[in-house]
Every structure is written in structure tokens, then in C-alpha cells.
Structure 1
Amino acid sequence: MKVGMKGVLSAGVALVAFTSLAVNLVGCTQPENAKVDTEQQAQNSPEQTEAQQVQQTTTPTTLKIAFPTRKDSTDLETKVDAVNKFLSKELGMPVEAKIGDDAAAVEALRANQVDVAFLSSKPALKAEELANARLYLAEVRPNYSGKQTYRSIIVVRKDSPLQSKSSAKETLEQLRGKKMAFTSPTSTSGFVFPVSVLVKEGFVPDSDRLDQFFAQVTYGGDYSKALQAVLRGQADAAAVSEYALFPPYVSETEKNQLRVLHGIPGVPAHGVAIDDDVPQQMRDKIVTAMLKLNQPENNQILRDLYNSTELVEVDHNAHLQPLRDALKVAEKKS
């Protein structure tokens, strides 16, 4: 267990930027029948003894949730406020939101500055590694090809001579010696999954030697910029998520100038992670409350947040296993 949070915030919902986060600790008492190793206690400094006591966490009196910024969610503070008011009412406790990017959300979990975080799949793996947080829910979107999974796609211009073939190997062979735009080296659908297929098919030995196959490799930094490289003729193909072929990533006019060359299914959808410091009973209450956002009378709150239509319960390990497998192949991890 990590260090918990302390302090009771006033009722209501507060929005706090990640830049002003402060670590708050939840005080807790030792059970009356707890056995104390007096010899070890004597060797510890007062600060160490206090830290050990704080590690025994209790149910938080204020629920703190991290909401990462996303390109397809504008006016996020207003939408987050609606979610928090709903959850505060359902849980009977204040809910505080912290807005930043995925990296900040993971760091907040690690530092016990939040209890819950909305995360995409690769940051969710990092949150497990650093904070022992786990995904309990996954988002469902209407433009996902799977319910809680979506495709990584390789996109070309509609007038490109590159054509989809009967097998992945035949299709991807056409990219040999071409200019390729990936989203970023950390992107699940915009890098990890397509590179894992290139490795599986024997085109490259690992993610570090893409230049052995492509004439040029660039990174757009986000889906829109990777697709713009194709639209402007700066790249022959781009790797992105399938939902990037919709506004606001591209306009309808731009979408009509592009087509999918190859699709790779099974990318884990974004989800909701809960810190291991949150007691099981409280975790169950959080999951139950969030699932009520699927109900017709509450669903617009969920749709407004990240364009998801539904939250579904998932097993953390099973949901993220396809990503673990793709990383192992792409990075040649033993």
C-alpha cells in the first residue's frame, strides 16, 4: 500500500488544476488488537513510525478523480462538474476533480493525490506499475469496432496506389521504402499495435529499427497531425486510432480524402482506474455509481464527458493483455 490522503474538504464539487495538487494524508488508527514489534519500533525514527501508521488507510472522506484532457472533449471543466455532482449525490460525499493529461493523472495516483482516474490503456499499465491502480470499467463508443476495443488503422490517401490485399503481410509489404507517419512512440494504436504487426510479419526486428523497412519515419505528436502528413503528401501512410477518422481530428472533407489500408483489432478501450488504497467496499460503491451513468436519465452526462455511450465492467488483466502482448512483440521484451 502507498501513503493515503488526509483531510476533509467542504461539501460540494471543486475543480483543481494538477499544477496546484497537494498530497493530503488520511489519518487512521491502529486496531486495538494490533501487535506492535517493539524492537523494530525502537529502531525506527518518529517520522518512519508515523509513515507506517499512515499506510493503514481508511475510506476517503472526499473522492478525488483525475480527468485527462482529450482533443475530442471541449469545455472539459463544465462536463467534469456535471459528472462530479452526479457522483457526489450517488456516493453521499464530496467529489473533487483534477484535470491534466494522462501522465499527470498517473502521477497523481502514484502520489495519492487522487483515488480514481480516467486513463487510456498504456497509462493504465503505468498506473498499475507505479501505484498498483487497476481498471474496473472501460468506455464504449459508437465509433469503436469492438464493444470495449477498437482498431489501430493504417491510413492512406484515397487516391493512393497502395491497396488492401488478402493478408496483412501482402498489404504491409507495400509500405516498404515508403514514408510512414506514426502518432507518437508512446501511442498504443498509433505506434505499439502497428509496430507489433510489422515485427510479427518479419518486416522489422523491433521498434528501434523501423528505418530498415521505411524510407522515412516521422511522429505527428497526435492523431490529427499524423493524418495531416498524409493529406499534405508528407507521408504515404499514417498509423492512428479508428476514431481519429471523425471530427474533431479531421473535417468531413478531409475524411473523404482518406481511406483505411489496414486495420488491427483488439486495442483496449480507455477506462476508469481505482487506486488500491481505496477499500473494496468503497470501490464497489464507485463502480456501481458510475454504472448508473448508463441509465437513460443519466447517460447524457457520460456522453458529454468523452463521447462514450456506456461504461462496462472489465477485468484489468484480461482487458490490458492485448497491449502487454503487443508491447512484448514490438519491444522484444523477454
Structure 2
Amino acid sequence: MPITRRHLLATAPALMAPALLSHAGGARAADGALTVGLIPSEDSRAMIANSQAMMDMLSRSLGMPVKPFVAADYNGVIEALRSRRLDVAYLGPFSYVLGASVANIEAFAVAETKKAGRTNYHSLIVAHKDSGIRTLADLKGRSFAFVDPTSTSGHLFPKAGLLKAGFDPDKAFGRVIFSGSHDSNAVAVQNRKIDAVAIADRILDSAIAKGQARREDLVVVWKSDPIPESPTVWRKDLDPQLKKRVQAAFLEVKDIPWSDQGLLNGFHPTNDAAYDVIRETARVLKLDLRGMK
């Protein structure tokens, strides 16, 4: 399956989290309200209701009304940022890099959940201990499961890692499948239905906690560099004073439910350079970010 901008934006790892947008200029600024948009991962009315704690906290910090708005998808968010109809957005790591290649935007904050306790995660290649696989070279001729063609930690990062190690995943494996989910990969490698799999470390931890896999039965063959979590971004041309207020407001948000990712510890400052690891991965995979449609 070809990797396109639409595929990457539509299936970015942050897809199930709220996409936060503000509008600080134009007609909406006249009524003194900050408009916050949401990418729906559920019924739009339920999404708005579930985001109310976030809206209330931002409103108190900014000292102005904050109103939710449900957006259609990441493609619409990027286009709205580019056309200056939106000012702030929450994007996935790859969708941010794609957006930054066509729009004048910059990352300024990143969320940390209580469950993760950090603002990054890793992609792993894992095999069953009884498979005899201990190194990437041992994968030659074996069966392998990625997650989805557009999964950051379930395909793009492990594929780039294999290529950088001199292992051609398009030719060297005996059989390659896309399982469709990280959980499926955990179960498949535990039950020796597949020789080795790609999986996010936090999802492997969750699968082990749920009894789907046993850590003592598995061998980590490869581990990626840290992958930054999804950033909150703003248009670079926003008023500097507004940027300070918006970032301060986000950094005060904490201890509320964060979509399907659990309780939010809080936001931390970040910057564009933190996502250079995403750009490097795109270069290894020869993804033309500007040319994607």
C-alpha cells in the first residue's frame, strides 16, 4: 500500500486523542472566546462532553471563554492552519512533520499521561525466546508482522531501523504480514504464530499487564531511539504575547482524563527540533513529505 499524506494524517498515533485548535483572530476573536476543535474518535456530542474538563481548565487559565468545535480530520486541520483559519492544533508526530512542511506551524507543548510517565516512547522488534532469534540478522527468512503501513512505531520506525542496519525488509523476510494492531502482534509472537513482530513498548507493557504476553518468554531484538509523543502546535505568526498566554495555559492543564490514554499528568514545553527524529525516519524511508497528497 503506498504511503500518502492522507494515510499518514488519517492514521497518526494521536488519532484517538483530542486535537486541540484555537482561533485567536478573525470573527471569533470579536466575542472574546477561544475556540477549541476536536478530532472525533467517538460520537461528536460525546467528544465535546468528555472534553469539558479541558475546556474549563483552559478557560480559567486564559481568563476567557473556551468553546469546543468538532473538526472532520487531520487533513482539514492542516489546511485550516495553512489558511490561517485556525491558530493552534494537536497533531500526531508524523502529521506534525507533514503539516510543518506545508504550513507555518511549530510545536510548543507535549502531553504526558500518568500511565506512560514520559513524553516519548519506543518501537520494538520482539521475538519469542524459543525462536532462536537474537539479532536482526537472525530475522532473515523468518515470518514477521508489522502493524499497519502507516503506523509510526508499528511500521515506519522499525522499517527504517532495519534499513539502517542493512536489512532489507522487502526482500529478506520469509513472509511479512500487517496484523492491524499492536495487541495482535503481542498475542501472535507470544503464541509463536509469527517469528517476530514490531510493537510499541508501551503497548507491549499493556499486553503483558493484561496477560496477553509474558515478558520472560520474549526477546527484544531491536529498540528505536525515543519517539516523541504528539505535539500541540501553533502558527508561527501568532502574536508573541498570545503565544505566551496559550503555552502557559496548556502547561497548567493536568489531572484530567486524556481521551483513551488515561489521566493526564500535564503538558511540557517542546520545540520543532524534537521532531527531527521523525524527519530522519522519513528520509531513510525516502518519503517525500512535500510531495505527498
Q: Following the alignment from structure 1 to structure 2, what is the Cα–Cα distance between the partners of residues 231 and 70?
A: 30
Answer yes or no: is the 8 Å Cα contact 2:252–2:266 preserved in 1: no
Are 2:141 and 1:177 aligned? yes
Query: Number of residue pairs matched?
Result: 261
Structure 2 CA distance for aligned equivalents of residues 77 and 132 of structure 1: 28
Change (3 A) 1:77 1:181: farther
Contact 2:48–2:68 at 8 Å: present in 1 too? no
Q: Is the 8 A contact 2:182 2:203 kept in 1?
A: yes
Identity percentage over the alignment?
23
CA offsets per residue over residues 25-63 of structure 1, 9 Å max, x none?
Answer: 8259xxxxxxxxxxxxxxxxxxxxxxxxxxxxx789443
2:228 maps to a residue whose letter is: P
Structure possessing the higher radius of gyration over alpha carbons = 1
Structure 1 position 238 matched with structure 2 position 197: yes
1:285 is aligned with what amino acid?
Answer: R
Other-structure match for 2:274: 319
Task: Spell out the pairing of 1:147-158 with structure 2 (5 A cutoff).
Answer: 147-157=118-128
Q: Is the 8 A contact 1:82 1:301 kept in 2?
A: yes
Q: Distance in 2 between matches of 1:182 and 1:238?
A: 6
Distance, in Å, in 1 between the alignment partners of 2:30 and 2:96 is 23
Q: Distance in 2 between matches of 1:234 and 1:276?
A: 49
Contact 1:133/1:274 (CA < 8 Å) preserved in 2? yes
Secondary structure at 1:174's aligned position in 2? helix
Aligned to 1:35: none
Residue of structure 2 equivalent to 1:191: 155
- Could you list the per-position Cα deviations for residues 87-122 of structure 1 after superposition, in whole angstroms to 9, with x for gaps in the alignment? 122221332242665455445534655432222210
* 1:81 maps onto 2:52 in alignment: yes
Alpha-carbon offset, residue 244 of structure 1:
1.1
Give distance in 2, aligned partners of 1:313 and 1:274.
13
Higher RCO, 1 or 2 (CA under 8 Å, sep at least 6)?
Answer: 2
Aligned to 1:222: 181
Matched position secondary structure for 1:272: strand
Which of 48, 71, 88 is the aligned partner of 1:116? 88
Distance 1:122 1:184 in 2: 14
- CA 1:63 to 1:158, structure 2 compared with 1: closer, same or farther past 3 Å? farther
**What is the match of residue 134 of structure 1?**
106
CA-CA distance at 1:311 after TM superposition: 1.3
Unpaired stretches in structure 2, ≥5 consecutive residues: 1-17
- Equivalences for residues 42-61 of structure 1 within 5 A: 61=32
Cα separation, 1, equivalents of 2:124 and 2:30: 42
> CA separation in 1, counterparts of 2:238 and 2:87?
7
SS at match of 2:150: coil
Segment of structure 1 superposing worse, 277-286 or 210-219: 277-286
How far is 1:200 from its partner? 1.5
Take 1:244 and 1:70, find their aligned partners in 2: how far apart are those partners? 19
1:254 offset after TM fit, Å?
A: 0.4
The one-letter code matched in structure 2 to 1:227 is A
Amino acid at match of 1:274: W
Matched residue type, 2:26:
V
Aligned to 1:262: 222
Where 2:212 maps in the other structure, the secondary structure is helix
Give, as a single letter, the amino acid of the residue that structure 1 aligns with 2:36: I
* Cα-Cα RMSD: 3.5
